[in-house]
Structure formats: C-alpha cells, structure tokens
Amino acid sequence: MFSTRPMFRLLTMTIGSIVLVASSAVSAKDSVKLSFQLDWRLEGPTAPFFLAQSKGYFQEEGLDVTFDVGSGSANAINRVAAGTYDMGFGDVNALVEFLANNPSVPGLRAVFMTYDRTPASVFALKSSGIRSPGDLAGKTLAAPSFDGGRRAWPVFAEVNGLPADAVKWQTVDPALRETLLVRGDVDAITGFLFSSQINLESRGVKTEDLVIMQYPNHGAELYGNAIVASDRLLENNPDAVAGFLRAYTRGLKESIADPEAAVEYVRQRDPLIDVATEQRRLRLTISSSIDTPAARENGVGAVDMGRLQKTIDQIGKAYDLPVASLPKAEAVFEPRFLPERNARLILQ
C-alpha cells in the first residue's frame, strides 16, 4: 500500500519554509531602518551594540540598524546633528557645546547615558616627576584636536586652580599619542582611560609606572558618552528610539555579565582585533565609567538632572559659551525613552 505521509510531511515543510521566508521578507520590509554613528573603531566597548545586533534584539524591536565606525566622540555629535545619522554614541559635553553654539539648527538630545563618569584622563610617566594637576603647569600635552580629554581640559583646569592656558598643546594623530609619551617627546597626554592606558601597556609601559589623573577623581565630575538621537527621529518615530534602547540595554547587560564572551561579537566584525586586549579594554570601561554607585542605584542610562545642570554650567564657563543659548539639562537629556528602571538595574 502506498503511503502519502512522506509526501505530506514534505509538502508541510515546504509550505512552512515558504511562510517563514515570506514572513522574514515582510519583517525586513517593515523594519525601521536606523543609521548609527559609533564614536570610534571596533573595540571592546562596542560589544553591547554588536551583541544585541547578532542576537536579534534590534530585529525583535522591528529595527534594521546599520553601525558605522567613528572618528571621535565629538564628531559623532556633529554627524547626527547634520542629519547624516539618525543616532550616535558621543560625548555629552561636546553635545552641550554644540547646542550652545548652534541654537537655531535642527537639534539632537542624549537619550541614554552609558558612561556615568567621563573616561577623560591625563597620563604622565612617573619618571617625569609629574604627580598632581598642579605639576602640569608649563608642560606640553599631546592629544588629537577632537580628544574628549583635551576638549574638557578647561573644566579640569578650572576645578584644579589652573588657567586654561597653563599648558601647551601639541596636536597629534591618535596613533602617535602614546608613542610620543613613551619616547619622552611630550610631558603628558590626555585620552580616555580605557584607550590610552591599554595602548601604553601594549607599548611596554606598566601601569605602576604611570601617573593617571582621571578627571572625575580630580573634581571634574563630568558625564561621558551617551546615546544621542536627532530631534527629527524623536518626534517622528519615538517607538524606534525606545525599541533601540531596550535592545541596547539587553546587549549591555550581557556584556557586563560576561565581557570575554561579548568581545567575540566584535571579533566577528573585525577578525584582526587582539581579543585579549579588547576584553581588558571592555572590563576597564565597565569598571571605570559604567559601574558607578549612581548607576547601581538608579539603573544604567539615567542621569541626575541637577548634576547634569552643574556640568552644563561648568562647560559653559570653561568654554566661554554664549550664556543666552546655553542649554538647560532638559534640552540636553530626554529620559522618556529609557527602558523601565527594573530593566536597567543590571549592575546588582
């Protein structure tokens, strides 16, 4: 007797496959496309974005996100403001500066504060004799013009009793910054903690041979990098912004729980990275800028509006920004797109 069961199963599988393909096609067609400007190259700290993308978290929110490497956290602000990108990862202090200097152009706001503490730091060799901020007076510091530590130097200088012009700046390519310090061509450098410290270690400098002045540890209690979004996107597609932040928070949670595994998602996009180095970079990023008492209490992503306003006032004074157009905290950070607090309590 001839059985129709195999044929039936084949037909069922075929129909199921067609439905699945059709469903995927519809999902892809209906997905909201977002372009996202990263702050820098593909390194350990980008892991939360790519983990979330690889595991389909953005897709679950109906999003099709394209990530592009960046050339500095301040430049990310400019590119989102210009409309080149919908969202980005940039320095909130640079955002304040941009908004103050461009009050009449289409705006953007921070929607998720990833770095509760700025990673901006000054680095010097112990052999130089430099030990404290006051020792930097009259010295030569090297950094790219867009470096967050260099741009925030006036704030660091003011809170430590130094005039903004107390040091001489040498503008350098990012790839040469740490090399110049090691060779003794400059007295100190500024850079993000998890960038310059790791880069100096890779050049044979032991951490115990360094003097590291983290800005928050020396009175400059600035926020750091945040996810920013254009006002156009916030107004036209608020659900996409909220969905992006939900997916990102899931990626951040898993990256914090297992940094070693998270870096694998970066390696998948750039097989040439040194995995061990980027794992250390991610761990240092988490411990120095993300895992703070405030983030543990209030959840990652949130800000204290009073602290942010103090930061804005400090930046306005140090950068000599126009008082009339200096933004208020509410114009810099928009909290209504954040995931609920319980979903952001990922540091417990």
* Per-residue 3-state assignment (H helix, E strand, C coil) for 229-288: EEHHHHHHCHHHHHHHHHHHHHHHHHHHHCHHHHHHHHHCCCCCCCHHHHHHHHHHHHHH
For the record, the structure tokens of 252 come out as: 């951040």
User: What CA–CA distance (Å, rounded) separates 246 from 327?
Assistant: 27
pLDDT of residue 21: 38
pLDDT of residue 73: 87
Question: Hey, what amino acid is at 135?
Answer: D
User: What CA–CA distance (Å, rounded) separates 279 from 264?
Assistant: 9
Closest by CA to 107, choosing from 313, 333, 339, is: 333
Q: Which residues contact 158 (CB under 8 A, 6 or more apart)?
A: 164, 314, 317, 318
pLDDT of residue 312: 97
Q: Which residues contact 263 (CB under 8 A, 6 or more apart)?
A: 44, 47, 273, 275, 278, 279, 282
**Which tens digit of pLDDT belongs to each residue from 12-58?**
434 344 333 333 433 555 899 999 999 999 999 999 999 999 999 99
pLDDT of residue 348: 74
pLDDT of residue 28: 52
**Which tens digit of pLDDT belongs to each residue from 133-144?**
999 999 999 999
pLDDT of residue 342: 98
- 8 A C-beta contact, residue 297 and residue 69: no
Q: Which residues contact 170 (CB under 8 A, 6 or more apart)?
A: 140, 141, 142, 143, 180, 186
Residue with structure tokens 């050339």?
71
Assign 3-class secondary structure to 161-227.
Answer: CCCHHHCEEEECCHHHHHHHHHHCCCCEEEEEHHHHHHHHHHCCCCHHHEEEEEHHHHCCCCCCEEE
- Intervals of the chain under pLDDT 70: 1-29
Grouping H, G, I as helix, E, B as strand and the rest as coil, residue 61 is: coil
For the record, the structure tokens of 45 come out as: 């700290």
Q: How far apart are the first and last CA of the chain?
A: 65
Q: Structure pTM? A: 0.90
